[in-house]
Amino acid sequence: MVSKLQTPLTVSAYKSEVHNDWCPGCGDFGILQAVQQSCAELALPPGETMVFAGIGCSGKVFNYMATHGVHTLHGRVLPFAVGAKLANPDLEVVAVGGDGDGYGIGAGHFVHAGRRNVDMAYIVMTNEVYGLTKGQASPTLGRGQQTKSLPLPNTNDAIQPLALALSSGYTWIGRSYAFDGKHLKEMIKKAIEHKGMALLDVLQPCPTFNDLHTAEWFNKKVKGEGTTMLPRIFNANEAGHDGAVKDPTNHDEVADKQKKAFELAHYHGDRIPVGVFYEIKLPTYVERMQAQAPMLIKYSPARVPYEDASHLPTTDLSKSYEEFMF
Amino acid sequence: MVSKLQTPLTVSAYKSEVHNDWCPGCGDFGILQAVQQSCAELALPPGETMVFAGIGCSGKVFNYMATHGVHTLHGRVLPFAVGAKLANPDLEVVAVGGDGDGYGIGAGHFVHAGRRNVDMAYIVMTNEVYGLTKGQASPTLGRGQQTKSLPLPNTNDAIQPLALALSSGYTWIGRSYAFDGKHLKEMIKKAIEHKGMALLDVLQPCPTFNDLHTAEWFNKKVKGEGTTMLPRIFNANEAGHDGAVKDPTNHDEVADKQKKAFELAHYHGDRIPVGVFYEIKLPTYVERMQAQAPMLIKYSPARVPYEDASHLPTTDLSKSYEEFMF
Amino acid sequence: MKVVNEVNWMIGGPQGTGVDSSANLFSQACATAGLWIFGKREYHSNIKGKHSYFQVRVSDKPIHSHVDEVHILATFEDSTARLHAHEVVKGGALIYDPTKITLDDLNLKSGVITLPIDFNSVIRHVAEVTGMEYGTLSLMKNTIAVAASMALLRMDMAHIEATLARIYTGRKAKLVAPNVAATKKAYEAVDALPDEMHDQFPYHLEPKQNTPKRLLINGAQANSLGKLKAGCRYQTYYPISPATDESNYLESHPEYGIAVVQCEDEIAAIDMALGAATTGVRASTATSGPGFCLMSEGLGWGGMNEVPIVLFDYQRGGPSTGLPTRHEQGDLMFAAFGGHGEYPRLVMSPATINDHFHLAFESFNYADRFQTPVIVLNDKFLTHSLETIPPFNEANLIIDRGRLATPQELEAAMADGKGFPRFRPDAKTVVSARPYPGQEGSPYWMTGDEHDDYGHITEKPETRKKMHEKRMSKYRLMLEQIPEEKQFSLNGDPDADLTLICWGTTFGVLEDALPILKEKGINANFLHYRMLHPFPIASEKILKKAKKLVMVESNWGTQMGHLIRMATGIFIPTQVVKYTGRPMSLNEIIDSVEKIVKKQVPPEVDPLTGQSIEKVVLTYGL
Amino acid sequence: MKVVNEVNWMIGGPQGTGVDSSANLFSQACATAGLWIFGKREYHSNIKGKHSYFQVRVSDKPIHSHVDEVHILATFEDSTARLHAHEVVKGGALIYDPTKITLDDLNLKSGVITLPIDFNSVIRHVAEVTGMEYGTLSLMKNTIAVAASMALLRMDMAHIEATLARIYTGRKAKLVAPNVAATKKAYEAVDALPDEMHDQFPYHLEPKQNTPKRLLINGAQANSLGKLKAGCRYQTYYPISPATDESNYLESHPEYGIAVVQCEDEIAAIDMALGAATTGVRASTATSGPGFCLMSEGLGWGGMNEVPIVLFDYQRGGPSTGLPTRHEQGDLMFAAFGGHGEYPRLVMSPATINDHFHLAFESFNYADRFQTPVIVLNDKFLTHSLETIPPFNEANLIIDRGRLATPQELEAAMADGKGFPRFRPDAKTVVSARPYPGQEGSPYWMTGDEHDDYGHITEKPETRKKMHEKRMSKYRLMLEQIPEEKQFSLNGDPDADLTLICWGTTFGVLEDALPILKEKGINANFLHYRMLHPFPIASEKILKKAKKLVMVESNWGTQMGHLIRMATGIFIPTQVVKYTGRPMSLNEIIDSVEKIVKKQVPPEVDPLTGQSIEKVVLTYGL
Ligand SMILES: Cc1ncc(C[n+]2csc(CCOP(=O)(O)OP(=O)(O)O)c2C)c(N)n1
Ligand SMILES: Cc1ncc(C[n+]2csc(CCOP(=O)(O)OP(=O)(O)O)c2C)c(N)n1
Ligand code: SF4
Ligand code: SF4
Ligand SMILES: [Mg+2]
Ligand SMILES: [Mg+2]
């Protein structure tokens, strides 16, 4: 069990001293801040919190947190984070990374993480570009679109990350926007608190390379139903979408909620829904592990004792030796 | 353009002399045969047809075909096949492989292949196990299930391959069954003929390692609507499902067809739908490439001329040199 | 001439027909009788139908290698007889099914005793007697073949009966009775042989009294037990032959509290193990060539972040998917130099099945002590070979977690508030203090980018220099701190005329070869490398002192030979190599050494060095 | 003392503020004036804000290296001045913004001329004059800094004007006028300096007449052009510094009909290129360390299936993500030995920017001729360095597709009906005939498993042996068939007292060093390796003849030094290495060689070999 601080810390207690080198106006600032606020409000002990990050501009989050910060490999943030969480479920593990990292090179891990339902939050910074390598198309950029650095318009179709998460088995799926600090923070907290694998996709302006979908673009009012102009980004939950499955054993309810989440993930038109798309409570991977290896209920793998005070190994293999003894 | 034979060949013309070493009763036999029949009926020229295969029992298909056969690397059949097809679109390229290969280690490529819509068919042999490595759980085996070789019940949830394909952008998605030769052959032909990326998932009994879902199990009659007993496998298209988008520019139709395909992919209950789940006509990757590099309309990359008869290079770089000349 | 307790038995058949089970039955029965076993398995990358075979060598005394000449070949279908009949020595025996094959079709040496058994009629008989269904008993062919062999060898039936009872327990206990019945029937068939035949067949097995307790175990099992003993509690894997057996074994033993995670691929396997290792758990992964390739990036991250991690690479025939179920020592150079850029790693390889246990145990100590990836090179050969060995000696096992953060250091970090200086070189140990997440004062940062004491990214040339040098100096530490006897060993007469050089699992065959060579008047010893990279430079004195060196490796390029030259400048022009995917047999070694001594190996030019070499390429084995 | 046409100019500033553009403007203006350029770029793995700088060395004659002492440092903010002011030589000049920094804060040598320019006021002036918005002109700081430098150097303004017109075309043409206005203003500011100051500043640039046409080009561009010329028409990539520039260049030139595919990862990149190559297209991929790691499995498949493919590895600081935008020659061992099992590969590395073109061209011929992967080791240094070089000599370029299937062979295969014997060793060429899919009679099989002549899987020991030996014998073919002058070169006096040994892009700095060393009384030559693996054994004679050898490499372990010893037994104890991520400068080389000659390098023990070595570790450069 992840423990909580008795006395919560301030937000600044989660800020490291490292100089931040994101570009001015980068949406990552908003996300970092919301993560730090969430940590403070959830009273997470910095020494028992591990923030795993991918490689990219987004990946630098690891260095700006005053928790354990692990900068993994490009596309591999999930395996690293899952490894840590399963080895020691008492740690709060949060994974963050870019859209190229998570949905591009990391797509295989992304899919399989859904199958495990490890209890952790995964926050993806979706800016439609590979920021740190200077603006190539990431898998969320639409076909035919041409951001600043592309010599030619994008030849690939965009991925639908939320639909993909749904088909992969994520048990909490949401979207937010980097510059809506309040909504974002609440969503991050929900993703962390959710018992299971949570994907939070965050729309993140990259003022340097993404000249199509800038903060201004996100803030623009667009045609809603009829002719009224409405904010481009709207809170689907406020608009009535309830993605939470009440009874996970009720197949009809599950199917219905999945279908609605799928439709929302494929939402068509100028407006962009944010909020909780889908949520269900299923056994976590640790619970499944514990069911098979009861010793892991008492000890996390990282804490199973195997030496005594004088460093003699204490694992008794005699039962196993019997199998082979003649 | 892929050319067709003037005079079609017999099925046996597509059979190589290599001894087949699958286990007796393996569903792969049915699939291989249907592929060979499809080649014959589509009059594919063996010398212009390349069958790319993954690694697994399934992967051995490459060796049993009397076309070009390429045994790639585990999980990598799609990148290899895509490479060949884009380099020479005049070749008929068919990819085949196991479910571990394609949905397990290959999941990342699987997702991204959807984004490219390369004109080829991908046939996955879904037997819920890693056959060739002796029966470990593959990503299609359900959680809690324990096939013969598993020391403990499976801890991972199953993937929903068809839903995943839908979320990844495949433009033709279908399912068939290894021992329904007629349906299977028709489906393979459709997948090959479809102009774009087609996924055909084939349910494949593995009598050696999958003792849960055997041919007998697939053939069993089960409870349908009400109390009548019906065949477990049913043809969804015959049952009224029409997955084909008529007008790809009509967003409402697309959304509706996608939603229905999604529901069918998540079909719940004892019965299993087969058939065409979804189909849409969108520009292929080669068409997109040609739009950007008009020379590729005239020549495939594999045929762009760059040497003369005496092997002197003929590519004229003078325009490019100008950029740099001082 | 009676040959007691020295026999090489072979059984073969299509895969999936129980060849392994027969070999187990035979081996266990012999073990029950106090005899010593070395069993070697060969099979195709196929599930059912292709040819596989198992050779079990039985002896009075411990043995560690296989031989090529066969004393009893037990078959129950035609292909094995066809493929292997010529290997049966004069005076040996062939057990065959006369309904499947006629002897004329076989390439039998004269003087081979042939014992026809109509397997199906035996099974039908048993079905009748026990009232069981014929179909469910068809695998009993194996028992019959074993029993007939045992009868020929004049081994008491009781050993088989005891073994059957040991093998078939629980739900399978009902199989004991029919198997015993079949055994009896086979003994009867053999008893019915004319006496002359019995007399002609010189090979006898006799129980050995007072044999101490031994384990009958293969490399994968010994390795797994070593890992458990070491405290490894996190194992990741993706199925691949021949590595899977280890993970399967661990998975089947949840009682030790080890988390075994089947990953989506080998990239996830290494990265998950690394992620786990950051929490302090002893973590490892096991794979084989193709999977090993996918792990190079992760290994480099481990090197850069000084993560203790152990990778077990079960070598098989390469390159690419190669020969997935065959033997090779082909991954040495890759293990030593895989991954871009420079980072330290320790590469070792176990000598014997017993050493699988010990090296697996030690490797976690090394990983913790040097805080860097350790690669253990196992291989298909011993992984699947069965040997009787004394129980593992647990007496001197000590857990060494290396340079963990002290409470004082954690407190200082807490007071300081800047995080834990995880990567600050320690003045004494070089290797830095390591805290675990969860310890107060522990937070620090990790990154594959170059970093400072705390793990923050830096591109400062002076910090880069300091950190790179710190990491690379671990090579010096390894050479200094790993005891010489764990690095290499000189076996046999130190003043021998000939020094064979080998590494890893080639130990056993050379160990067995020395006395035989001696009998032939060849005074050889052998230098065995257990530590491969960094190169045990202390062994240079042996290389320099040796009268004549012969490199013995199961690969094309004499990879260890290259490492030796890289470190010492010594070129070893005399080479015995094998790269057919089959391990070296005892007689091949003897033959090749004799050839070398008799100067029967023609010289050739090594294209890579331009030097004249004499190279024996071994090819025996199907 | 007037110094004409010998100047080292530096500009620095936060990333994203136009440092590169200034360097381009400066370089191009100098090139327009017929001068020769060598420009080196340093920057962080960051998009905006971190410090970057660009040094442009200008000379009368061709130059191929950078130097450390700076003659003009042009800055427009405070950090660059702070970081680099101390590098300006006595008599040099600092251009700075007095509103941003006071000179007292800087570590300036005495005798440095300081030229204050209020950049904002110039821009404001231009905004007024042209009526353009201040904001859109802010990047003009760079032009102002360049113009002030040029004015100081007494270069005619016309060269800048011409260059501005060349750079700003199309939609950007409207930027010419304000930039010209800013240039004028900067020239005025410099003209306004007191005469004594001008007199004190000895560095002048004068146009050089009759300079032949040259290319001002970097390594990535030269490499791309070589690939296009060779007929490479399929390029895959996944973004990674510093490799991306090549793919970006190719992507921007669809007119050549090259398919450039951005893949989902580097595994897909190598596998897609392999898949493409099976159709006969000349295919390649470009990556850097971390991506290279992910390609090892694919490369092994290429080796096993004898697929011609070229992999360009743009080396950067390792291990792991390391120093993503810095220089290193750290991937040599990995390129030579990466991947499990054994397969042949050719590893080469270009000497100069000009050679990037030629080696890129050749590499496809080698891939086709030896039908196996070719790895070209480029690096961050020359990839991003700018040099004026004579136009590529296209005179002797020939396309060699190697052993393609003949019409007769295809017909025979068709008649035979068993498929094409793609892997049957050719009695003469060893390498087998290769058909393309689509040719009648062409179908054959490919597999990473061991296979027979047709590409069918086999586990037969004798076929394995034949095929493995055939593949590995390509090493011999490479050594025999690649002309010696393409493998290595001895540069300078063959009888020199000192032989420096280097590989790849270290060529230029040693080329420039020889005459300077000569002036200092040191008669050195240098042996440059262009082919790295298999080791050019023909170079052994040079190594043996040399009076004293010095290994010069940008890595920790002298990786080439190890390859030399592995092949020849020769150990080179004197070493000059650098692993700070910065390339070696001309003066560092001079200094270190002087130190070595003067025996000022203290001996130390090399832990890996136990030998006494003398090692100079270079560290210059921010
Ligand atoms: C294996 C590997 N391939 C490529 C890279 C180079 N690389 C570094 S960051 C990056 C892209 C980052 O894009 P994204 O994940 O979207 O993050 P962003 O910078 O946009 O936040 C890439 C390709 C790498 N480090 N490792
Ligand atoms: C990189 C890599 N990892 C693992 C393997 C070992 N391997 C060979 S076949 C196979 C599983 C095949 O399962 P699947 O794709 O479902 O095919 P099936 O045998 O069931 O037809 C595996 C894991 C390999 N060849 N390469
Ligand atoms: S490049 Fe884009 S994503 Fe990266 S720091 Fe700058 S604004 Fe942010
Ligand atoms: S193991 Fe299963 S999938 Fe493989 S050949 Fe046998 S039956 Fe078919
Ligand atoms: Mg991004
Ligand atoms: Mg399968």
Euclidean distance between CA atoms C300 and C296, whole angstroms: 6
pLDDT at B224 over 80: no
A touches which chains (3+ CB pairs under 8 A)? B, C, D
Burial (CB count <10 Å: 0-12, 13-18, 19+), residue A167: buried
Which pLDDT belongs to residue D484? 98
Query: Is the alpha carbon torsion for A303, A309, A311, A316 positive or negative?
Result: negative
DSSP D376-407: EEEEHHHHS-EEEEPPP--TT------SBPPH
| Spatial distance between the Cα atoms of C335 and C314, rounded to a whole number of angstroms | 12
Q: What is the mean pLDDT of residues C259-264?
A: 98
Give mean pLDDT, residues A269-281: 96
Index of the ligand 1 atom closest to the CA of residue C297: 1
pLDDT of residue A226: 74
If you ran DSSP here, which 8-state letter would residue C82 be given? H
Asked if residues D344 and D308 have their Cβ atoms less than 8 Å apart, the reply is: no
How many Cβ atoms sit within 10 Å of the Cβ of residue C222? 30
pLDDT band at A90 (very low <50, low <70, confident <90, very high): very high
Domain with CATH 3.40.50.970 in chain D: 217-389
Q: Is the CB of B245 under 6 A from ligand 4?
A: no
Domain C217-389 bears CATH identifier 3.30.70.100: no
Give distance in angstroms: CA of B130 to centre of ligand 6.
4
Q: To the nearest 5 percent, what fractions of chain D are helix, strand and coil?
A: 40, 25, 35
Ligand 2 centroid – CA D331 distance (Å): 30
Q: Is the bond preceding residue D603 a cis peptide, omega within 30 degrees? A: no
Please give the structure tokens belonging to residue C369.
């002590």
Q: Is residue C228 a contact partner of residue A317, using CB atoms and an 8 Å limit?
A: yes
Instruction: Copy the structure tokens of residue C24.
Output: 């187990």
Cβ distance D320 to C305 less than 8 Å, yes or no, reads yes
Chain C contact set for A321 (CB, 8 A): 215, 225, 391-392
> What is the β-pairing status of strands D51-59 and D6-14?
antiparallel
Residue ranges of chain C assigned to CATH 3.40.920.10: 3-211
Q: Which of D445, D418, D468 is nearest to D278 (CA)?
A: D445
- Which chain B residues touch A257 with a CB distance below 8 Å? none
Distance A134 CA to ligand 3 centre (A): 9
Instruction: List pLDDT tens digits, range B105-159.
Output: 999 999 999 999 999 999 999 999 999 999 999 999 999 999 999 999 999 999 9
Question: CATH number of the domain at D3-211, out of 3.90.1150.10, 3.40.920.10, 3.30.750.210, 3.40.50.300?
Answer: 3.40.920.10
- CB-based contact B270:B229 (threshold 8 Å): no
Q: Identify which of D587, D597, D593 has the alpha carbon closest to the alpha carbon of residue D620.
A: D587
Residue B144 carries which DSSP code? T
Distance, CA C465 to ligand 1 centroid (Å)? 25
C-alpha D404/C-alpha C581 separation (Å) is: 31
- The residue contributing the CA closest to ligand 2 atom 23 is C239
Higher local confidence (pLDDT), B172 or C417 = B172
Question: Can you tell me which residue has the tokens 């202390």?
Answer: C538
CA–CA min distance A266, chain B (Å): 8
DSSP single-letter state for residue D323: B
CB D256 within 8 A of CB B276: no
Peptide bond before residue D239 is cis, with ω within 30 degrees of 0: no
C319 touches B: beta carbon within 8 Å = no
Chain D residues with CB under 8 Å of B307 CB are 231, 399
Most D CBs within 10 Å: which of A20, A57, A60, A74, as the mutation test of the D interface?
A: A74
What pLDDT band is residue C279 in, cutting at 50, 70 and 90? very high
ipTM above 0.85, yes or no: yes
Average pLDDT for chain B: 97
> Residues near D435 by Cβ (< 8 Å), separated by ≥ 6?
D404, D405, D409, D410, D413, D420, D422, D441, D442, D444
Residues sharing a CB contact under 8 Å with residue C257, sequence separation 6 or more, in sequence order: A293, A295, A296, A299, A301, A304, C233
Q: Write out residues with Cβ below 6 Å of ligand 3.
A: A 22-23, 26, 28, 57, 127, 131, 206-209; D 47-48
Token code pair at residue D66: 């950078």
3-state secondary structure of D160: helix
Q: Is A136 helix (H, G, I), strand (E, B) or coil?
A: strand
Residue with the smallest CA separation from ligand 1 atom 13 is A130
User: Which residues of chain D neighbour B294 with C-beta distances below 8 Å?
Assistant: 254
Q: Best residue in C236, C279, C354, C410 to probe A by mutation, most A CBs within 10 Å?
A: C279
Instruction: Point out the residues of chain D with pLDDT beneath 70.
Output: none
Please give the pLDDT value at position A269. Answer: 87
Beta strand segments in D160-218, E: 203-204, 215-218
Say whether B315 and D231 touch across the interface (CB within 8 A): yes
Rounded Cα gap, residues B142 and A115, in angstroms: 10
Number of H helices, E strands in chain D: 23, 25
Residues of chain D with CATH 3.40.50.920: 484-618
Q: Is the pLDDT of residue A126 over 80?
A: yes
CB contact under 8 A, B292 and A169: no
**In chain C, which residue's Cα lies nearest the Cα of D447?**
C321
Question: In chain A, what is the greatest distance between 2 CA atoms, to the nearest angstrom?
Answer: 85
> Closest to B107 (Cβ–Cβ): which among A112, A153, A159?
A112
Distance CA D51, CA D80 (A): 7
Residue B30: predicted pLDDT? 98
For residues B20 and B72, what is the distance between their CA atoms, to the nearest angstrom? 18
* pLDDT of the residue at A223: 86
Interchain proximity D49–A133, CB inside 8 Å: no
Residue C312 reports pLDDT greater than 80: yes
Amino acid at C426: D
pLDDT at D135: 87
End-to-end Cα separation, chain A, in angstroms = 44
Residues C484-618, CATH architecture: 3-Layer(aba) Sandwich (3.40)
Strands D232-237 and D282-287: parallel
How far, CA to CA in Å, does C315 sit from each of B36, C40, C244, C376, D98? 37, 16, 12, 10, 66
**Which tokens hold the place of C72?**
């009893």
**pLDDT for C461 beyond 80:** yes
Quick: pLDDT tens for C281-305: 999 999 999 999 999 999 999 999 9
Residues, CB-to-ion distance under 5 Å, ligand 5 = A 98-100, 127, 138
pLDDT at B2 over 90: no
DSSP-derived 3-state class of residue D520: coil
Q: Which residues of B touch C264 (CB under 8 A)?
A: 104-105, 107, 139
Question: From C249, which residue of chain B is nearest by alpha-carbon distance?
Answer: B151
**What are the two backbone dihedrals, phi and then psi, of residue B213, each rounded to the nearest 5 degrees?**
-115, 80
Which residue's entry shows tokens 């340079």? C403
Alpha-carbon span A112 to A171, nearest angstrom? 13
The label of the residue with tokens 């080639």 reads: C506
Domains along chain A with CATH numbers: 11-324 (3.40.50.970)
Nearest-atom index, ligand 4, CA of C48 = 6
CA distances in angstroms from C522 to C412, C490, C518, C526, C614, listed in the order given? 65, 17, 5, 12, 19
Tokens at residue C553, please? Answer: 């490796």
Note whether C322 contacts D341, CB cutoff 8 Å: yes
Among C386, C354, C507, C351, residue whose Cα is nearest residue C31: C386
Provide CB contacts within 8 A for C560, sequence distance 6+. Answer: C332, C501, C502, C503, C529, C532, C551, C553
Q: Per this entry, what is the length of chain C?
A: 622
Closest by CA to C329, choosing from C380, C385, C386, is C380
Which ligand 4 atom sits nearest the alpha carbon of residue B21? 5
Residue B292 in tokens: 């950007």
Give the whole-angstrom CA distance, residue C15 versus residue C17: 6
Interface of C with B in 202-261 (CB under 8 A): 238-241, 244, 248, 251-252, 254
Tokens linked to C76: 């129950």
In angstroms, the separation between the Cα of residue D388 and the nearest Cα of chain C is 29
Chains that touch C (3 or more CB pairs under 8 A): A, B, D
Identify whether D62 is preceded by a cis peptide bond (ω within 30 of 0): no
Chain C residue nearest residue A303, CA to CA: C281
Check C318 against D330: CB less than 8 A apart: no
Res B268: pLDDT: 86
CB proximity C242 to D under 8 Å: no
Going by CA atoms, what residue is nearest to atom 5 of ligand 4? B22
Alpha helices by DSSP H, C353-505 = 353-370, 380-383, 407-416, 461-472, 474-481, 484-487
User: Are B108 and A112 an interchain contact pair (Cβ–Cβ within 8 Å)?
Assistant: no
Ligand 2 lined by B98 (C-beta under 6 Å)? yes
Q: What mean pLDDT value characterizes chain C?
A: 97
Asked if C315 and C483 touch (Cβ cutoff 8 Å), the reply is: no
> What is the Å distance from ligand 3's center to D21 Cα?
20
d(CA A63, CA A71): 8
D515 CB-contact burial (10 Å; exposed 0-12 / middle 13-18 / buried 19+): exposed
The pLDDT value recorded for residue B228 is: 87
Pocket test for ligand 2, best of B31, B130, B149 (most atoms within 8 A of CB): B130
Cα distances from C76 to residues C48, C126, C140, in angstroms, run 16, 17, 11
pLDDT one-digit tens code per residue, A146-192: 999 999 999 999 999 999 999 999 999 999 999 999 999 999 999 99
D369 to each of C546, D430, D482, how far by Cα in Å? 43, 11, 10
